[in-house]
Chains A and B, each alone.
Chain A
């Protein structure tokens, strides 16, 4: 494995963690928006979401910064073209991030109507942000980002595959969040809320599953290279994902109480790594390889060293935070 490949692996790991933790975070926002029409149970759901998210949302989103920084430091020749071509959805995602984080924080400060407004903005931004991020990923998959960055600003992502991936990002995040929150509700001693999130998780799984099937066809027609990779070297991981996803769905329907969270996250992780295997050796499929995008070898070494430090420092701290949060030590 070459040095650029190692760093690409680090980047992929960061993206995976963002997809799981950031994704669950976005999904919780979507669920909060949906719960608006669920009356009393809905407001209990929002209270649960609020409690689960408050201490961890900021840390969840540092993974995005991590990915951006590794991308521009280690692979500047991919970062530049990416930003130059896909500036429209990226700007939209950035706006979504601002609205989401600040609305969430404001929701804690105000009460009454302002609080409700803040929650609604938070929910809407939780849909917008992952959608546009999905558009970016979909456009990259479709090979719409050329090496010189002079891609089409609109038709690069206003196309079936990127939009489908955008919607898939939103739905799979929602599904994952519902599975996680279901557990929180159970531990919080609220069986009704447990069943509520279970229903949401089943709904999310069904929609995300159906969209994935559609995604296979979209990939086949618009991103043939990636499709071949996913059905070739990436196939074992795709099958693993399918199996885990199915197990989660069965578990949800049967009302299994424990053990679904790692499976649900695992299904997502398997897809992301299957994707990575499939598009190897490209960073921007069929336009820029990992090696061509890579920066100076000394910098790659520095990034690897920094990453090891991050594992040693941030890893235990994050586990500490999540444990405290799970133990309900952290409260508003």
Chain B
């Protein structure tokens, strides 16, 4: 007993913020790996398909080296994902206690997909030598399906937090008539799931392609590097216009069902028609300052007419308004802005491939492609900021406040600090590991590396051997 009190004394301060920051940081880290887990298998399979169908040694080489990197990244993704299932309970025990049986079925289904993924990933990655030909290819197909299914079931739970359905709230506040399938197939799932799935393909596609774009800028322009760029970039480029359409639908869905969130990120202060669409700027109580305003466009985007009435923050009770409107507004604009820039890049690529069967020759295209990976990750993070911060103060929209869900446990800021240190180290080492694996592949394959650029990371690790 004494030991409990002694440990407890200095640590109980502001659990809500610490818990939110911990969740945001660990989820933000994991989601990148989750994207890779969902989409990289498809890219490997495309390369392997090409390799086997056309007897293309370069394509097979790519599939194989990507799967080696995947072994490391999937492992880190698996453990950071496990941590998240702990965190659900450790940080938000009351949320789980009250609502776990309403939304939990999504996670139960996800369990099947996660199992399938873990099993076939292992067979695919470690089966290269002994499973010959198309047999090996087919062991990769369940991974792709499981990635899509897993994304669906997890995102459905988040959608449920935004638009809780599938139960009846009795007069005494208890939850009855639970309908697990209705909870999963809530209104928000319809756009949140495709939005996230496409984001996964964009993050992975642009991310992988940007590595080869950097190589191109450094002078590595042999056939393998070219193919290593084209396969992932083409996949991401195809996903991009669809993503912008889905995002547009999603924004209208949010305006309909979560007007507070929409008013928050669009900085709509007064309910009314003919709302200005603000690009950039700072959100104040009087509206956006220093931004570029397009009169009436916000109303048009929400309801295809300047007459469309958009709910403003003045119609939301003060204690139910989302916080940090400037951050929300800039996060939303940043996401849309990056998405639009990626669309231009994708269009440029598409045009060039159609006309010349070659990626664009302009160095500006390759510079754009080189930052497209980081850009798509930033856009995804900003999207999650809009979704999650925009829902505050609720953890379950309109039904449970985040402050009522958080744990009473002490020392959460230490947990946050520890998580930052641990994950930073993990990220750095994982990055080095992937570099080392890739360098080793080149040695083994005896592939000429083009004009060698300075690569201190690899050399320092090699020196340790």
- What is the interface of chain A, defined by CB distance below 8 A to chain B? 54-56, 58-59, 61-62, 64-66, 68-70, 72-74, 76-77, 79-84, 87, 90-91, 93-95, 97-102, 104-106, 108-114, 149-150, 152-155, 158, 295-296, 298-299, 302-303, 306-307, 309-310, 313-314, 317-318, 320-321, 324, 328-332
Contact = CB atoms under 8 A, between A and B. Distances in A.
Contact of B130 (A69, A77, A331): A331
B79 A101 contact: yes
Contact of A76 (B104, B119, B180): B104
Contacts of A313: 112, 115-116
B174 to A, nearest CB: 10
User: Which 3 pairs between the two chains have the least Cβ-Cβ distance?
Assistant: A295-B101, A73-B104, A80-B97
A95 B76 contact: no
B83 A321 contact: no
20 contacts: A55-B126, A65-B81, A66-B115, A68-B85, A68-B86, A73-B107, A80-B96, A81-B97, A95-B422, A97-B79, A98-B83, A296-B178, A299-B101, A306-B109, A313-B112, A317-B116, A321-B123, A329-B127, A330-B130, A331-B130
A302 B167 CA distance: 14
B1 A152 contact: yes
Given A72-B96, A102-B79, A296-B102, A113 B108 contact: no
Contacts of B409: 84, 87, 153
A332 B461 CA distance: 21
A149 B114 contact: no
A254 to B, nearest CB: 35
Contacts of B178: 295-296, 298-299
Interface stretch (B2-10, B310-318, B348-356, B365-373): B2-10
A74 B89 CA distance: 14
Contact of A310 (B80, B81, B90, B111): B111
Contacts of A73: 100-101, 104-105, 107-108
A58 B74 contact: yes
A65 B254 CA distance: 31
Given A95-B418, A106-B72, A154-B3, A331 B101 contact: no
A101 to B, nearest CB: 4
B123 A314 contact: no
Given A58-B75, A79-B100, A84-B407, A109 B83 contact: no
B250 interface: no
A98 B97 contact: no
Contacts of A56: 122
Contacts of B96: 72, 76, 79-80, 83
A95 B177 CA distance: 38
Interface in B109-141: 109-112, 114-116, 118-123, 126-127, 129-131
A330 B122 contact: yes
Contact of A72 (B100, B408, B415, B436): B100
A154 B175 contact: no
Contact of A58 (B78, B101, B102, B418): B78
B429 A64 contact: no
A324 B430 CA distance: 28
Interface in B60-87: 71-72, 74-76, 78-83, 85-87
B94 A332 contact: no
A59 B111 CA distance: 11
